Structure 1
Amino acid sequence: MRTVSIIGLGWIGEPLGIQLKKKGFQVLGSTTSAEKQENLSKNGLKAIQFSLNPHPEGIGFNSLFQAEILVVNIPPRTRSGNGEFHLEQLKYLRSLLDNSPIKKVIFVSSTGIYPEAPAGEEYAEDFCLTHENAGNDILYRAEQLMEKDRSYDLTIVRFGGLMGKDRIPGKYFSGKENVAGHTRVNFIHQNDVVGILTWIIEKGLWNETFNGVAPIHPLRREIYEKNAAQLGISPPVSYQNEPEGLDRLIDSRKILETGFEFEFPDPLTFSYLSASH
């Protein structure tokens, strides 16, 4: 049986673990709380309490580092502005990894790494990123830290805006004024996030970087209005009066060329739990 460890059984990690188990993998994951550990075991997922604060804490967490494949999904808490803490976490993770038998790693990153300026064309994986042009320096340094002097196969997946289930874009702007509705989105549905990660593992797509965004990019305004109509939430009260066409778009052709098919290629057709949940 092939073994996969998932660091972070959260919004992405939990459904991924469930999917991999269905496909016959032996899955072990980590969570930071005992309460969550109990809920996960009810869903049939074995979890170990493990956190990086930034040094490793927990009981028996070394078993997480005995699998063939490791999925690292610990997003930086960039909103709190402490990106350095995230890099420290990853340094400790690297030392656990480098002293383990793990041969293959998937590192979950973000399309926030690309420059913030709209380009003439969509940002693809081969775009030359540097300290100077990266849209997010912490994301850039995190990827570099995972790449450097490694003895394992590494695939990096840069996901766009994570939507679906309880994450409804229109909900965040419901009833607000002067909302930016004129730019096109780089969203991805939770099912396709899980789908891409599973696909990479099953197809053995190692030592690659992939963008994970739905290939169709509707306007924000269209999505907010559709969410409002379908889910019974108030639409934004007003939008900014800005011209359309200045979009920072992310290219998803590379993952499509491997044969992957999106369940939700168009964010206008994303499925959600009803807004009351």
Structure 2
Amino acid sequence: MTVSIIGMGWLGIPLAKALKEKGITVKGTTTNPEKEQSLRKQGFECEQLLLNPELEGTVPKSIFDTDILFINIPPSTRSKPSSYPPRQIEIIKGLTQKHGIKRVIYVSATSVYPNNNKVATEADPLNLTNTGNPALLTAENLLRKNNTYDLTVIRFGGLLGDDRIPGKYFSGKKDVPGHPPVNYIHKKDAVRAVLWIIEKGLWNETYNIVCPNHPAKKAVIEKNALDMGFAPPVNYENPEKQEWKEIAADKWCQTKFQFVYDNPLDFTYTTN
């Protein structure tokens, strides 16, 4: 089996290593020529793929000669127009169909759900007027429409662990919303979830992949500060104003996936 990873970054690299350990041939892309050389030295077939959002340079054809295409492109909606991510996906879809790829995994996010002080499930009807992330939802729908491949969409919660420590981002800040339930997933479990989808053949599905436990953000922040030795926020939002959502992981849990970290209060981190 061959898996090609579009986006060999924070998640893509450990996924590539885990796939390789299972005897799967791994190929990947990066936008950085220096990282391309580094990954090649690590034994991965890696090519440069630039979508800004139009394709720049040549198509790395060998990447699209694969059994499974794993699309993991950060949406960049804060710095780019909302049309940017869908156009990137449109180009990748065209290349996918041109090369006859039969299976695709797309990394979306739970930000597609609106903050409406409710529990969100995969069955919730989403459209461009009620979604929390129009660009990502449009990209999802583009991949689903008239496709010629099996498609599974992963809606990851906040990807954390290792050097991504949630409490650190709020250290010393004022009026931090501490009441919303968190929707996090540890990087180790995110990698294992992709392997689980491939191993179990969980195709043509959409999954919310988050921890089934949702402590309040304040509890996570305070524990991080205590464990890692940095300052907590100066104060928390009072009265509580920020709207929230809790992402249900029931459908994913029904696949019998076993979390290493089912509670964000138990996440492990690195300090270097």
TM superposition score normalised by structure 1: 0.94
Deviation at 1:127, TM superposition (A): 1.1
**1:75 paired to 2:74:** yes
Q: Which moved more, 1:75-84 or 1:222-231?
A: 75-84
The CA distance in 2 between the partners of 1:86 and 1:42, in whole Å, is 30
Deviation at 1:55, TM superposition (A): 2.5
Deviation at 1:171, TM superposition (A): 0.8
Amino acid at match of 2:181: R
Match of 2:159 in 1: 162
Deviation at 1:81, TM superposition (A): 4.4
CA contact (8 A) 2:177 2:242 kept: no
Matches for 1:43-192 after TM superposition, within 5 Å: 43-59=42-58, 61-119=60-118, 122-192=119-189
CA contact (8 A) 1:48 1:59 kept: no
Deviation at 1:137, TM superposition (A): 1.1
Q: Which moved more, 1:57-66 or 1:144-153?
A: 57-66
CA contact (8 A) 1:87 1:142 kept: yes
CA contact (8 A) 1:176 1:236 kept: yes
Deviation at 1:133, TM superposition (A): 1.4
The CA distance in 2 between the partners of 1:224 and 1:201, in whole Å, is 34
Q: Which moved more, 1:86-95 or 1:151-160?
A: 86-95
Q: Which moved more, 1:211-220 or 1:81-90?
A: 81-90
Q: Which runs of 4+ in 1 moved over 4 A?
A: 243-247
CA contact (8 A) 1:48 1:60 kept: no
Say how many residue pairs are matched.
272
Amino acid at match of 1:47: C
Amino acid at match of 1:223: V
Match of 2:38 in 1: 39
Identity of aligned residues (%): 47
The CA distance in 2 between the partners of 1:221 and 1:15, in whole Å, is 29
CA RMSD across the alignment: 1.6
TM superposition score normalised by structure 2: 0.96
Write out per-residue CA displacement over residues 69-106 of structure 1, whole angstroms, 9 at most, x where no aligned residue: 00001121011141212111111111111101210000
Assess, with a 3 A threshold, how the Cα gap between structure 1 residues 48 and 133 changes in structure 2: closer, same or farther: same
Write out per-residue CA displacement over residues 196-230 of structure 1, whole angstroms, 9 at most, x where no aligned residue: 11110111100000001111001111111111111
Give SS of 1:127's match.
coil
The CA distance in 1 between the partners of 2:38 and 2:163, in whole Å, is 18
Match of 2:255 in 1: 258
CA contact (8 A) 2:177 2:236 kept: yes
Write out per-residue CA displacement over residues 40-71 of structure 1, whole angstroms, 9 at most, x where no aligned residue: 23433221111112232345601111101000
CA contact (8 A) 1:68 1:101 kept: no
